[in-house]
Amino acid sequence: MTETRAEILLPTSDLRKDLSFFTKTLGMRMDMIYPADNPSVAVFSGHGLRVRLDQGFKASAGHLRLLSDAPDGIAEGQRHLTSPGGTEVTIDELNPPLVLPPTEHAFVVRRLADQAPWVIGRAGMAYRDLVPTRLGGAIIASHIRVPDGKVPDMVHFHKVGFQLIFCIRGWVDVLYEDQGGIRRLNAGDCFIQPPTIRHRVMEAGDDIEVIEIGVPAEHITEIDHEMVLPTPHHRPDREWDGQRFVHNLAEGATWQAFRLPGYLCRDTTINANTKGVAGVQVVRKGTGTPVPCRHDSDILFGFVMGGQMTLMGEGKEPYRLSRGDAFVTPPGMVTEWAGPTDDFELLEVSLPGRFATIPA
């Protein structure tokens, strides 16, 4: 049987002193040293790593990152060190807490007609950025297409505070941890992917389009090489960081009065299942006359899925919005959704899930 080993090769200017540093300070094991009479090479292993120090290797100093769930137990709690031979070492949290940056509030309008570029992202999917400012890193909103419906995906998870997948066209099949077999998302349906839930996109229709909302904007996607989906148990009540998985269907939904006069909405149950972290509504034209209002939501995002309406913003020129257009309205700003067409339909996402709307 063939055996293969990988090593990190690092230079050292003082191997003798590095022996103590790598074994005692970093807690690694010395596996090899030679020649015996005047050592110039030593090999260490530990923390999932194998390192070869070579005094004759001419290169710039290396940099090691050690990640631990108890980082203070390494190197007497020091986080940044330099070995006697020149290797820099950073010690950090294996699973650092999620940091939600403060929202930089702004009035944002992103039109499909402006021809913002589509870029190829994870798993070959095409992304269009709907909030280029990211509101200071507080949120990322993407319009996503899947070329040819093929997704070379692996079991993975996201370290996020909130994540929504809303299908606006076509269909997509996804497997989720502890949620049974394949789940199909059709146009008008949505998923809430709780923080760290394992999942895998299986297949999508050729015309698939989804809106993905993630908080914060910069978050980590990790591959899980061990988990096999589907998992054997169906656990619909399981929580991940206080949030439940949601598969909300458009078919058969109940419509009710929306927070703004002149409109109707259907609730996706996301406010309840995230315990108030976020709310997601689908909005249509109703009866009555729209009026100017302001809100106190930290983030309020809208995406036009059908028809048209005019967005009136305090101190702004009116925007006639149509399918594919997105906007963010900051708290305290007077806005009005005027002149909706009969086929108008909009996706509204708020963080938090409940907030006040005040007539101007």
CA distance 178 to 192: 14
pTM of the model: 0.88
Sheet holding 199-204, edge to edge: 183-186, 171-176, 199-204, 156-159, 220-223
Q: Residue 147: pLDDT band by 50, 70, 90 thresholds? A: confident
- Give the model's confidence band at 149: pLDDT under 50 very low, under 70 low, under 90 confident, else very high: low
Q: What is the pLDDT of residues 193-202, one digit of tens each?
A: 999 999 999 9
Distance CA 142, CA 212 (A): 5
Look at residue 15 and give its three-state secondary structure: helix
pLDDT tens digit string along 83-123?
999 999 999 999 888 889 999 999 999 999 887 778 877 66
How much is the average pLDDT of 49-77?
Answer: 95
Note whether 330 and 271 are within 8 A (CB): no
Q: Is 102 exposed, middle or buried (CB count within 10 Å of its CB: 0-12, 13-18, 19+)?
A: exposed
Domains contained in the chain, CATH given: 8-93 (3.10.180.10), 109-248 (2.60.120.10), 256-359 (2.60.120.10)
More confident position, 97 or 353: 353
3 state DSSP class of 352? coil
What is the helix (H) or strand (E) element at residue 312, kind and residue range? strand 308-313
